[in-house]
Amino acid sequence: MLHDDHALDSVHLRPLTFPTPMFGLAITPKARGDEQKLSVLLTKLAEEDSTFKWHNDRQTHEVVINGLGELHLRLVLERLKNRGLHVDTKPPKIAYRETITQKAEGHHRHKKQSGGSGQFGEVFLRIEPKERGGGFEFSDEIFGGSIPGQFVPAVEKGVRDVIEDGALAGYPLQDVKVTVYDGKHHPVDSKEVAFRTAGNMRFAMQSAKPARCCLSRL
């Protein structure tokens, strides 16, 4: 803020509040090889217009632009065209997620003895829903060394495998807390791969009543 009196140094203008862009379109360049040009132009347009947003949706593999309405995005597309970039448009795919609706417990034992060295790991897990937007949390509540500490990260990797792939329809899982609270190990056959496999928490998912939900990425 510009002024000619230092007594006003502490006076600041209140930041402007802009409406959230809710209308979306998925766009692809008509010409092959224009993906980088599209990214550059969209970034520039977003810098010029605080009510325009865009993102690469990692789940649906689409470039999605968001504006205040159909007319707003029509003007954005016209500005892209004026800068030499022609695009195709379509409604964006829905970015589904999965979650659970109730607390559940279960355990999984992985045991392999056929040929070569054996594999053994047994894991007891507790899963519970978190509030919307709470993300994923992994907790270690093991006491007494039932699972040696060096294998706990492998259990978490097994859990995260399910978080990424989901348990209902292949969509990523969200807003879930997973706690490993007990297990068993073998002094010779326990390995990281065994506990990663044992950490697959799908065995407890059905009791937790998984459900599909829609994720907003704005």
CA–CA separation, 138 and 182 (whole Å): 14
φ, ψ for residue 89, nearest 5 deg: -125, 155
Residue the block writes with tokens 């259990």: 155
- Spell out the domain ranges in the chain: 23-93, 98-214
Of 19, 25, 26, 27, nearest in space to 68 by CA: 19
Range 23-93 classified under CATH 3.90.245.10:
no
Assess whether the region 23-93 and the region 98-214 belong to the same CATH fold.
no
Strand stretches in the chain, DSSP E: 23-29, 53-57, 62-67, 87-90, 96-100, 104-112, 119-129, 136-140, 176-184, 210-214
pLDDT tens for the 218 residues of the chain, in order:
555 666 666 767 777 788 889 999 999 999 989 999 999 999 999 999 999 999 998 878 899 999 999 999 999 999 999 999 999 999 998 878 888 889 999 889 999 887 667 899 999 999 999 998 898 999 999 988 899 999 999 999 999 998 888 777 778 888 999 999 999 999 999 999 999 999 988 777 777 888 877 654 44
CA–CA separation, 99 and 101 (whole Å): 7
Q: Out of 3.30.230.10, 3.50.50.60, 3.30.930.10, 3.40.50.2300, which CATH number does the structure's domain 98-214 have? A: 3.30.230.10
pTM reported for the whole predicted model: 0.65
